[in-house]
C-alpha cells in the first residue's frame, strides 16, 4: 500500500511474523515503542499505530508502565453481522411477517433500569412484537427504548415498521453489547412461539449506546430450532 517511508502495515506485519514464528514468544516482553521506532526507522506514532492494531487483534497485551507482551493464548476472534430480522428471514427465502403486540410508555422493572444504567425517572417506551417466517413464529422481541435518547420514538407507532428497522433508520449507535444464552420459555413466550412452557429457547439480548447514552435494550427469543452460525 502507498509507499510511505515505512508504513504501519509493514511494521505491523513484521511484528506479527515475529510473534507467529516465536521470535517473540508468548508472554515475553517486547521492546518499547521508542526502541521499535528506532529499529524500524519510523516515528513513534507509526509504531504505536501498528501496535494498537496488533493489540486489537489480540496478539499482544499492552499496559502502561508494564510495557507490551505477546499474548499467552492468541485470542481468536470471530465476527458476525447483525442483520435486521427481516433480512435474516428473507435471506433464507422465507416470507416475512411482523406483528405488533403492544407498545406503551411504561416504568421499567428494576432489572431493565439497572442494565441500562438509568435513573428511576427516565421515561422508557416498551414495545413487544413478533416476527414470523413463512407464517411460523421466528422471533419474539421485547424492547425498551430510552425516550431521553430517542424522543422521536414517542411519535412512532411501530404498527407497520418494526422497532428494529425504525431504530436503524432513526437512532444510530456507537457501542453495543450482545448476550446470548439458553433459557426456559415462560408461559407467554412459549405460547407466542408455539412452544410449551419450559421449552428451551435461544435468547439474544442487545444493548446499544450512542457514546455514553443508552439507546435501547432488546431481548430476542427464538425457538430451539434456531441456529446462529458464523464463519472464521
Q: Which residues bind a second copy (CB under 8 A)?
A: 12-13, 16-17, 19-20, 22, 26, 54, 57-59, 73-84, 87, 168-184, 198-203, 210-212, 222, 224, 226-232
Q: Does 227 bind DNA (CB under 7 A)?
A: no
- Judged by CB under 7 A, the residue of 15, 19, 24, 51 near DNA is 51
Q: Does the footprint of DNA cover residue 8 (CB under 7 A)?
A: yes
Q: Residue 16's closest CA among 65, 44, 45, 58?
A: 58
- Answer with the entry of a second copy, DNA, none that 59 interacts with (C-beta below 5 to 8 A by kind): a second copy
CB 171 within 8 A of CB 150: yes
Tell which one of 17, 22, 27, 34 touches DNA (CB under 7 A).
Answer: 34
Q: Does 232 bind DNA (CB under 7 A)?
A: no
53 neighbors 60 (Cβ within 8 angstroms)? no
Residue 146 CB partners (closer than 8 Å, separation 6+): 116, 118, 122, 124, 213, 214, 215, 216
What distance in Å separates the CA atoms of residue 107 and residue 10, rounded to the nearest whole number?
54
- State yes or no: residue 1 binds DNA (CB under 7 A): yes
Piece in contact with DNA (CB under 7 A), picked from 61-69, 74-82, 189-197, 216-224: 61-69
Residue 65 interacts with DNA (CB under 7 A): yes or no: yes
Is the CB of 32 or the CB of 74 nearer to DNA?
Answer: 32
- Cβ distance 61 to 71 under 8 Å? yes
What is the CB neighbour count within 10 angstroms for residue 74? Answer: 14
CA atoms within 13 A on the CB side of 82: 13
Closest CA to 85 of 72, 77, 94: 94
Distance between CA 150 and CA 2 in Å, rounded? 42
Residue 43's binding partner, choosing from DNA, a second copy, none, with beta-carbon cut-off 5 to 8 A by kind? Answer: DNA
The yes or no reply on residue 66 touching DNA (CB under 7 A) is yes
Going by C-beta distance under 8 Å and a sequence separation of 6 or more, which residues neighbour residue 105? 123, 124, 125, 126, 147, 154
Q: Counting contacts by CB under 7 A, is residue 48 touching DNA? A: yes
Q: Which residue in 19, 24, 68, 195 binds DNA (CB under 7 A)?
A: 68
If one asks whether residue 52 binds DNA (CB under 7 A), the answer comes out as yes
Cβ at position 13, least distance to DNA in Å = 11
Which residues contact DNA (rule: CB under 7 A)? 1-9, 32-34, 41-46, 48-49, 51-52, 55, 62-68
Amino acid at each position: 500500500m502507498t509507499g510511505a517511508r515505512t508504513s504501519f502495515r509493514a511494521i505491523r506485519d513484521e511484528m506479527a511474523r515475529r510473534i507467529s514464528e516465536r521470535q517473540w514468544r508468548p508472554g515475553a516482553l517486547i521492546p518499547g515503542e521508542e526502541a521499535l521506532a528506532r529499529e524500524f526507522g519510523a516515528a513513534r506514532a507509526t509504531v504505536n499505530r501498528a501496535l494498537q492494531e496488533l493489540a486489537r487483534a489480540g496478539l499482544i497485551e499492552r499496559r502502561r508502565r508494564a510495557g507490551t507482551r505477546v499474548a499467552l493464548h492468541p485470542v481468536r476472534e470471530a465476527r458476525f453481522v447483525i442483520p435486521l430480522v427481516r433480512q435474516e428471514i428473507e435471506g433464507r427465502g422465507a416470507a416475512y411477517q411482523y406483528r405488533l403486540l403492544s407498545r406503551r410508555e411504561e416504568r421499567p422493572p428494576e432489572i431493565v433500569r439497572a442494565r441500562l444504567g438509568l435513573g428511576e425517572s427516565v421515561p422508557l417506551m416498551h414495545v413487544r412484537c413478533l416476527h414470523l417466517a413463512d407464517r411460523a413464529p421466528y422471533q419474539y422481541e421485547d424492547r425498551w427504548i430510552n425516550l431521553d435518547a430517542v424522543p422521536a420514538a414517542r411519535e412512532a407507532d411501530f404498527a407497520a415498521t418494526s422497532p428494529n428497522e425504525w431504530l436503524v433508520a432513526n437512532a444510530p449507535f456507537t457501542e453495543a453489547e450482545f448476550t446470548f444464552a439458553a433459557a426456559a420459555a415462560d408461559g407467554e413466550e412459549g405460547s407466542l412461539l408455539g412452544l410449551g412452557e419450559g421449552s428451551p429457547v435461544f435468547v439474544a439480548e442487545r444493548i446499544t449506546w450512542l457514546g455514553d447514552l443508552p439507546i435501547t435494550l432488546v431481548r430476542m427469543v427464538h425457538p430451539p430450532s434456531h441456529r446462529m452460525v458464523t464463519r472464521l
